[in-house]
Amino acid sequence: MRVGLVCPYSLEVPGGVQAHVMDLAHTLIGLGHRVNVLAAADEDTDLPSFVTPAGRAMGIPYNGSVARLSFGPVSFARARRWVRDHRFDVLHLHEPVAPSLSLLTLMVADGPIVATFHTSTQRSRTLAAFHSVLQPFMEKITARIAVSALARRVQVEHLGGDAVLIPNGVDVDFFASADPLVGYPRRGGTVGFVGRYGESRKGMSVLLGAMRLLISRRPDLRLVVVGRGDAEALRTEAGPELADRLDLLGQVSDIDKARALRSVDVYCAPNTGGESFGIILAEAMAAGTAVVASDLDAFRRVLDDGRAGVLSPVGDPAALAQRLADLLDDPARRDDYAESGRRFVENFDWPVVARQVLRVYETAMAADPRRVGEADDAPDDEEPVDGRSWGDPE
């Protein structure tokens, strides 16, 4: 099967959707399919051979964050050329309502089109305002996927239609086989955090509040932070009682992220909202680490309603401190949750998820047996595209 995947966000910045698209591509190639990915990236970016770069992206506020998106005449032309040159059996767009390559590709393409919805913003004034503009393009979508029940509800309420619920995937073996970082695990306990800690919705202020309540009885407790942000601002917010307890690893490779997750006693996700799935929870579970997370709808699903990890009230540092303490002080209970997480995360293993996605592809192709091609009303443009080879089956 020839599959075209479109990533709405730049591959030059790590993110859950970017990882989802690239991991799906690798898995489909491993299953014998021919895959090409269209994504924003500079021409000189080091990319796999199955990725076609669509040029630079710009920062645009979207879904409570600043997303690196590519949207404009050059991107439009490159999307059009990519569709015309590859003659896919099925086209798979991610976040097609974002002002991005996904929406541009939807505008220029016809044929069997699958769309995956990741966003979980429950009340979107933008979607409501542009519903009439977007609707003709949404009607071109043959089959829809949502990564969570909340993401499915958002697209049903704002865009109409329904979606198959297929979760994000995780490479279970990759995380399970990672070696801990040098010097870890540490005596006295470690709590882990991964994410853009400068974004308020990631909940770092809640976690710092919980840590302040924990340290009086745990003199060696440390917080391991992986991700981008202003390190000095974080240390200032932490204050003198916590600043020296922070291990700030910065933005790291996937390998080192997996190693970090294997190194901590408890992984904590104190997020306050705006999450559609929570792939980092699944990654921590795959690494064999017990998880404490905010009681968000998306996180509840990943943690099997609290059976595969501990849920804590959103935005409550005292409650979070108590739940962290319960695991830090009880190794047997911590191991029980880690084992439950290891078992449940098998549902999110990429080969399992990819086969569900393939069934959606087959349904879309049966409903529209045409090859993917240019829409009849797509305007002409001769913007050149850097052609890249198909990903060969591994």
Confidence of residue 63 (pLDDT cuts 50, 70, 90): low
* Domain co-membership, 83 together with 106: yes
Q: What is the 3-state secondary structure (H, E, C) of 287-309?
A: CCCEEEEECCHHHHHHCHHHCCC
- Angle subtended by helix axes 101-108 and 73-86, to nearest 10: 60
The mean pLDDT of 133-137, rounded to a whole number, is 72
User: Does position 391 have pLDDT exceeding 80, yes or no?
Assistant: no
Q: Is the pLDDT of residue 228 over 50?
A: yes
In a domain, 240, yes or no: yes
Please report whether residue 381 resides in a domain: no
For residue range 196-211, list pLDDT tens digits in order: 999 999 999 999 999 9
Of 150-154, 268-272, 371-375, which range is least confident? Answer: 150-154
Q: Are 20 and 31 in contact (CB under 8 A)?
A: no
Mean pLDDT across the stretch 364-374?
96
Could you tell me if 204 and 269 lie in one domain? yes
- Decide if pLDDT at 308 tops 70: yes
pLDDT value, residue 158: 61
pLDDT, mean of residues 31-56: 89
Residue 98 — pLDDT band, cuts 50, 70, 90?
confident
Residue 289's nearest CA partner among 270, 305, 269 is 269
Instruction: Looking at the structure, tell me whether residues 142 and 275 fall in a common domain.
Output: no
- 190 in the same domain as 138: no
d(CA 368, CA 384): 29
Q: How far is CA 98 from CA 68, 121, 123, 127, 275, in A?
A: 11, 12, 15, 9, 16
Distances (CA, A) of 221 to 63, 98, 191, 211, 292: 34, 41, 8, 9, 16
Average pLDDT on 18-36 reads 96
Question: Is the CB of residue 101 less than 8 Å from the CB of residue 8?
Answer: yes
What is the average per-residue pLDDT within 225-250? 96
Least confident interval from 86-95, 306-315, 377-386: 377-386
208: CATH = 3.40.50.2000
The neighbour count for residue 158, using CB atoms within 10 Å, is: 21
Same domain, 233 and 283: yes
- In-domain check, residue 386: no
- What are phi and psi for residue 122, nearest 5 degrees? -75, -30
Instruction: Report the largest interatomic distance among the alpha carbons of the chain, rounded to a whole angstrom.
Output: 69
The overall average pLDDT reported for the chain is 88
Quick check: helix, strand or coil at residue 76? helix
Q: Is residue 120 part of a domain?
A: yes
How does residue 137 score in pLDDT terms, banded at 50, 70 and 90? confident
Q: 384 falls in which pLDDT band (50, 70, 90)?
A: very low
Kindly report the backbone phi and psi dihedral angles of residue 321, in degrees, each rounded to the nearest multiple of 5, phi listed first.
Answer: -60, -40
Looking at residue 136, its pLDDT comes to: 79
In this structure, is residue 390 part of a structural domain? no
Q: What is the mean pLDDT of residues 269-281?
A: 91
- H and E: helices and strands count for the chain: 15, 17
153 and 19 in a common domain: yes
The b/e string for 68-98 (b: 16+ C-beta within 10 A; e otherwise) is: bbbbeeebbbbbbbbbeebebbbbbbbbbbb
By DSSP bridging, strand 90-94 and strand 310-312 are unpaired
CA–CA gap between residue 286 and residue 257 (Å, rounded): 12
Which stretch of DSSP H or E encloses residue 3? Answer: strand 2-6
Count structural domains, the chain. Answer: 2
CB 163 within 8 Å of CB 146? yes
**153 and 185 share one domain:** no
pLDDT in tens, 372-381: 999 875 555 5
| Same-domain pairing of 184 and 145 | no
Local confidence band at 133 (pLDDT 50, 70, 90 cut-offs): low
- Is residue 380 included in any domain, yes or no? no
Among 42, 202, 16, smallest CA distance to 94 is for 16
Q: Is there a contact between 91 and 113 (Cβ–Cβ < 8 Å)?
A: yes
pLDDT tier for residue 385 given thresholds of 50, 70 and 90: very low
Percent of the chain at pLDDT exceeding 70 = 86
Residue 197 and residue 236 in one domain? yes
**Same domain? 176 vs 294:** yes
Whether residue 388 lies inside any domain: the answer is: no
Report the pLDDT averaged over residues 127-152.
Answer: 76
- The answer, yes or no, to whether residue 339 has pLDDT greater than 50, is yes
In-domain check, residue 190: yes
| Shared domain check, 189 and 287 | yes
Sign of CA dihedral 37, 42, 48, 49: positive
8 Å CB contact between 349 and 166:
no
Q: Which of 135-144, 244-253, 283-292, 306-315 has the lowest mean pLDDT?
A: 135-144
Q: Say yes or no: 193 and 82 in one domain.
A: no
User: Which domain covers residue 187, as residue numbers?
Assistant: 172-347
